[in-house]
Amino acid sequence: MPSQTVICDHYDQHVATCQERWAQALAAEGFDAAVIHAGSEIISFLDDYHYPFRTNPHLLAWAPLTRHHDSVLVVEPGNRPVLYYYQPDDYWYLPPSDPASWWADHFDVRSVRDTGQWRDGVPAGRVAFIGDAPDLQGRDELNPERLLNRLHLDRTRKTPYELACIAESSRVAARAHVEAERAFREGCSEYEIHVRYCEAAGLVDAELPYGNIVALNTNGAVLHYQQRQHQRPEVCRSFLIDAGATQQGYASDITRTYSANGGSFSEMIEAMDGLQLGLCDGMRAGVDYRDMHLRAHQDIAGVLHDFDVITVDPATAVESGLSSVFFPHGLGHYLGLQTHDVAGLIADEEGTELPRPEGHPFLRLTRTLEAGNVLTVEPGLYFIDTLLNGWRARNGDDGVNWARVEELSPYGGIRIEDNIVVTEGEPVNLTRPAFSAQG
């Protein structure tokens, strides 16, 4: 069960902050009120199966309605927010339980049986409608871009309540990661490891913030690997797991890599771990995340050179693009209600783009860091056939020790990822203490 601290502490302040932010954003864009729809369930084509439901994060930011499709929140500055809490009279599916007082006391909660009852409560004046539910389609002021940009920028600065939720989700994920490593050491299959992870976290697949990446051997070189093979491999060399948890809708996002035995790959993991901790320590207010991404390329190229994988110096590897052959993704991203949280690439309410460094198209965060930001730091090093073959076709054998690549390729790759809170002083690592607490 989540701790009482996570559930209750700071929530009063969090709702007050939401009130203030929404009032300012609505006023700045000339709106009198907003209607935030949780979203509706989607039924599969020609069947009665519902796809897993995810609440509109703009509603989830106000209240922990993680399973409450067709609920609607009406926000009118100066008035108590009105929540149309959808509780159908249903015997096919279990309806939501009554609202918990710790959060519901901050709203005018109106339990409704009909998904459309909120329409009678739309305030007069200019109203913004937020969400993607079919009931909102055709509205004149649907998801106004400048308003959403303002709200997204606000969400990059987490409240104490949000930080507590993310910290709790990190503790849950760390517990499950420890169990997953144990399953790997026992020789389990990818699917078996995934099941052990979910059992330890106390979450089913639909409650995870994203689909677990559970990759043995060469599968660790597939960045978003999702297969989870049932068969145990004949030889188990390595294990990469990228998996998180949720608390009141807030995500953690953690990656670890393990070697079955000692040797070069195990030593490379240790080198990447030290490199990653150094990058985490650099996540401070006023730092341009783009600079940290480029530093990661320089550092990873250094590891590749130290382990005789590349034959050119790190600066040359970065300048030529060789480092991107081994590290093709971005260093990290914002984290919160969404795993890849909002506003990572914009500067203002106009949506002015903050460009990625040339040659680095997959970086998800290009902003200067501020206190209250929560982000991931996830440097990686992989042996990806497609990228290696492309480099070789363009450059021949230049710059790469292909014998060393052949030796290490069966291990797939390495990624180490922690979740970091930016403060006015030293950054706070939510992930390492969560692992240490597991004993």
Q: Is the pLDDT of residue 206 over 80?
A: yes
Nearest to 399 by CA among 294, 302, 313, 299: 313
* Matching CATH number, 160-436, of 3.40.350.10, 3.40.50.300, 3.90.180.10, 3.90.230.10: 3.90.230.10
DSSP state for residue 417 in the 8-state scheme: B
**Matching residue, tokens 């922990």:** 64
Q: Cα(153)–Cα(424) distance, rounded to whole angstroms?
A: 18
Whether pLDDT at 6 is above 90: no
pLDDT-derived band at 1 (thresholds 50, 70, 90) equals very low
Q: What is the model's pLDDT at position 2?
A: 44
Of the candidates 332, 185, 3, the residue with the CA atom closest to the CA atom of residue 177: 185
pLDDT tens for each residue of 174-200: 999 999 999 999 999 999 999 999 999
Identify the residue whose tokens are 């030593």. 267
For the chain, give percent helix, strand, coil, nearest 5.
40, 15, 45
pLDDT category at 93 given cuts 50, 70, 90 is confident
Report the predicted TM-score, pTM, of the whole model to 2 decimal places. 0.96
pLDDT recorded at residue 4? 47
What are the residue ranges spanned by the domains of the chain? Answer: 4-155, 160-436
Is the per-residue pLDDT at 309 higher than 70? yes
Q: Assess whether pLDDT exceeds 90 at residue 9.
A: no
Q: pLDDT tens digits, residue range 215-227? A: 999 999 999 999 9
Domain 4-155 has CATH 1.10.8.350: no
Tokens of 6: 């996570």
Residues facing residue 311 across a β-bridge: none
**Integer-rounded Cα radius of gyration of the chain:** 23
Q: Residue 88: which pLDDT band, with cuts at 50, 70 and 90? A: very high
Report residue 129: phi and psi, to 5°. -110, 130
For the stretch 122-175, pLDDT in tens is 999 999 999 999 999 999 999 999 999 999 999 999 999 999 999 999 999 999
pLDDT exceeds cutoff 90 at 8? no
32-41: average pLDDT = 97
pLDDT tens readout for residues 265-284:
999 999 999 999 999 999 99
Q: Comparing 5-19, 69-83, 148-162, 260-274, which segment has the lowest mean pLDDT?
A: 5-19
For residue 3, pLDDT beyond 90: no
Task: Give the other-Cβ count within 10 Å of 282's Cβ.
Answer: 17
The pLDDT, as a whole number, for residue 379 is: 98
> Which has the minimum average pLDDT: 86-95, 190-199, 314-323?
86-95
Is-contact 193 179, C-beta < 8 A? no
